[in-house]
Amino acid sequence: MNSPLFNIDSIRAEFPILQQQVNGHRLAFLDNAASSQRPDAVIDAVSDYYRNDHANVHRGVHHLSHRATDAYEGAREKIRAFINARSIREIVFTSGTTESINLLANSLGQTMQAGDEVIVSRMEHHSNIIPWKLLAERIGIVIKVAPINEQGELVLDELAKLFSKKTKLLAISHVSNALGTINPVADIVALAKQQDVLVLLDGAQAIPHGKVDVQAIDCDFYAFSSHKMCGPTGVGVLYARESLLENMPLFMGGGEMVIAVSFEKTIYNDLPYRFEAGTPPIAQAIGLGAAIDYLEGIGMDKIAAYEHHLLELATTALSDIEGLRIIGTAAKKAAVISFVFDDIHPHDLGTVLDHQGVAIRTGHHCANPVMDFFGVPGTARASLAFYNDAEDIEQLVKALRVAVDMFR
Amino acid sequence: MSNVAQIQVELIDEFQLFDNWLDRYQYIIDLGRQLPEFPEEYRTDENKLHGCQSQVWLKAKSEHGLLYFDAASDSAIVSGLIALVMRVYSGQSAADILSTPPEFIRAIGLSEHLSPTRNNGLAAMINSIREQAQICLTA
């Protein structure tokens, strides 16, 4: 799909890592749901920052510190605009989605008591299960699990029945990492609002693949990672509605989060800084800002449309392979295809594909409850990004056919 | 040359017949298919090796001063690797096993399977065999 609007060849040329051979083959990188690759623009932004601008932020009177602070806070503003938050006060930098959710569990968790309920879903990544399980072990909250159907979609009627007077939070993924299901988050939030329940969306798999507008969705919290959206590793975001964040108990203490400290009294910093103890991931945040500029330059709507086209192409091609069964066939899907063969171990598939230059993920994808539901130990997962092309899919299909012949 | 070292040399020779990975893997997969049946009663948690994405069970027994191994996996490639490892180490003395590292793995181009990050059982299997040999020697 090379068109003046979406020139895949020129996009691919901007990703240096894609220009290599692996095991003597062209690299078909189809493990984007685990981590995406970075364009020159992001690599250069990080490198330029270290070469020219680095100093600690928010605390120096000197020139470099001002420049670093401007760049770092500039990135925060880019993120605000990218997800349409009302204010930068709502954008908390974390190390990634996992830390964002742990921050919330440890902060909001202090306002919960034994018997209070948190609803998650069967399709959650472990990162949106374990923080709540730890809270359950610590203070005795109760975790309720919203079921999914055979297509890997949330069963909304059943979810609706889980709310009670004790429900404090609904914590649910926007897009499933293992299945690709896109959840109807605006409907889910509306459902929760009727019950006066707060909503956290795990947006790690949604944010790279289409426009996310936190005001339109009306969620209270939204967590995501930079490294899945072409940005550096080690930085992520917790979006939190300001009226909630204002009253949330503090989690981590340290520098940056305070204005004045004595042993008698501490004056805490303003939002969002009081939730950002210690020297932040400055270069990474600036790199994330560059990634957002890059993605916006292409256009999130175009990315979503192109990836949908790739998903259809790949789904059709894979469905032609005898014995291949796709796990996760939701009506609305992101470009993730999990699949199994009843007689071939996913790990064996991954090995044989790797020898043909095809990178996929195999295993449980940190979503054991999903694997249990479908009765498989793991799956092979091809996850696509906007810099993948039809040739990547052809290479995947060809490699799979070789594998099938070897194992039968 | 010890028994184990001698078998490794033969195995390395055998794999020189293959000049591409596809044939090499196909041979390994076919060897895995010919593994002797793994007794169902050995398929216990105790015999299961940890740290494997694919499941691996290994059972050792000692007879007349030699160590014998039975093993199985749900992965076809790992089953083939098991067949190679059994051929090299099963039926040998503990001292021979311990003094002869599995050089054949690198020599026949399978060292990727030894990386702990591959997490697929070969490294765990070799470690377990060496542990059993150590126990046998110190007993």
Helix (H) or strand (E) holding A29: strand A28-29
Residues of A in contact with B54 (CB under 8 A): 345, 347-348
Residues of A in contact with B77 (CB under 8 A): 345, 347-348, 351-352
Query: For residue B14, what pLDDT is reported?
Result: 92
**Three-class DSSP category at A171:** strand
Instruction: Answer whether B58's CB lies under 8 Å from B98's CB.
Output: no
Give phi and psi for A217, each to the nearest 5. Answer: -70, -35
Which residues constitute the domain of residue B37?
4-138
Q: Residue A93 pairs with which residues in a beta bridge? A: A237
Asked if A407 and B26 come within 8 Å (Cβ–Cβ), the reply is: no
> Does the predicted interface ipTM exceed a cut of 0.90?
no
Distance CA A67, CA A47 (A): 15
The domain total for chain B is 1
Q: Is the pLDDT of residue B114 over 80?
A: no
pLDDT band per the 50, 70, 90 thresholds, residue B117: low
Query: For residue range A228-283, what is the model confidence (pLDDT) as tens digits?
Result: 999 999 999 999 999 999 999 999 988 888 888 888 888 889 999 999 999 999 99
Q: Among the options A366, A376, A390, A402, which is catalytic? A: A366
Residue of A345, A355, A407 with shortest CB distance to B74: A345
CATH for A43-296?
Answer: 3.40.640.10
Residues of A in contact with B110 (CB under 8 A): none
- Report the CATH number that the domain containing residue B74 is assigned in CATH: 3.90.1010.10
Q: Is A401 on the interface with B (CB under 8 A)?
A: no
Query: For residue B121, what pLDDT is reported?
Result: 77
Nearest CA in chain A to B112: A351
Q: Is the pLDDT of residue B113 over 80?
A: no
Residue A46's CB is within 10 A of a number of other CB atoms, namely 18
Alpha-helix residue ranges (DSSP H) falling in A84-211: 97-107, 130-139, 156-162, 185-194
Q: Is the pLDDT of residue A396 over 70?
A: yes
Q: Is the pLDDT of residue B100 over 80?
A: yes
Is position B52 annotated as part of the catalytic site?
yes
Distance CA A408, CA A15 (A): 37
Query: For residue range A293-314, what is the model confidence (pLDDT) as tens digits?
Result: 999 999 999 999 999 999 999 9
Query: For residue range B18-50, what is the model confidence (pLDDT) as tens digits?
Result: 888 889 999 999 999 999 999 999 999 999 987
Closest listed residue to residue A32, CA positions, set A225, A182, A185, A174: A225
The domain ranges of chain A are 8-30+300-407, 43-296
Nearest CA in chain A to B74: A345
Mean local confidence (pLDDT), A58-74: 91
Distance CA A211, CA A208 (A): 8
Q: Is B95 on the interface with A (CB under 8 A)?
A: no
| Fold category of A8-30+300-407 in CATH | Aspartate Aminotransferase, domain 1 (3.90.1150)
pTM beyond 0.90, yes or no = yes
Percent of chain A at pLDDT > 70 equals: 99
